[in-house]
Amino acid sequence: MRPGDHPEFFRFPAPEGRSRESSIVLDPNGRFFHEGQLVSHPGLVAALHQWIDRHPDDQRYILTNGYDWTYFTVEDAPYFVRAITSSGELELSDGSTEPFPESGYRIGEADALYCSVKGGRFEARFTPAAQTGLGPFLAEEEGGLVLRIGERRIRLPAGGAPGAR
C-alpha cells in the first residue's frame, strides 16, 4: 500500500521543516519551471505532467506521486493536447489518450482552443501543432465550425478558426 492510498493522505502535514507550497510553475506553453529555471530533464518533465491532480479539499492544483504531494502554480491549463492520433483521439501532455469530448470547448486568447479532459475534471489547451492537426476533422456547418469524428459532430464555440494559429 502506497501512502497515497491512505484516506487521509492529503491531510497529513508536510515533512518536518518542509512546506506543501512549491515554486513549481506550469506555464501556458506546457513548460515547467522551478525557482524560475526551466525544468529540462525529459524524464522529470514527463513525470511532472503525470503527477498533476487537484487537492480533494480545496481543489488547488497539486503534484502527487502517491508518496508525497505539493501545491504548484498553473498559469493557464493543467493539461495540453499535444496531437490528434490517427484514430481521432487526443494525445495529452501526461502521455494518455482520450476520445474527443462531446462538450466543454472554448476559444481563449490568440484563438487557442481548450477542451475538458479527465472526465471533465480538468481543462486542456491545444498546442499549436495539435490545433493545426484538427484540419482534417474540421467542417463548416450551419455557419459554424464542427469537428467531424467518425459519425459524431462536435460544435466548436464561436471565435477564430481553431486550425489557424
Q: Is pLDDT at 145 greater than 70 in this prediction?
A: yes
Confidence of residue 144 (pLDDT cuts 50, 70, 90): confident
- Asked if residue 101 and residue 61 are part of one domain, the reply reads no
How many domains does the chain fold into?
A: 2
Same domain, yes or no: 119 and 137: yes
pLDDT on residue 162: 55
Domain boundary among 27, 55, 74: 74
Which pLDDT tens digit goes with each residue over 97-133? 999 888 889 999 888 999 999 999 999 999 999 999 9
Which residue reads 498533476 in cell numbers? 52
Can you give the pLDDT at residue 165? Answer: 38
Residue 100 maps to a domain: yes
Q: Which domain holds residue 70?
A: 18-74
Beta-carbon-side half-sphere exposure of residue 141 (alpha carbons within 13 Å): 11
- Residue 163: pLDDT above 80? no
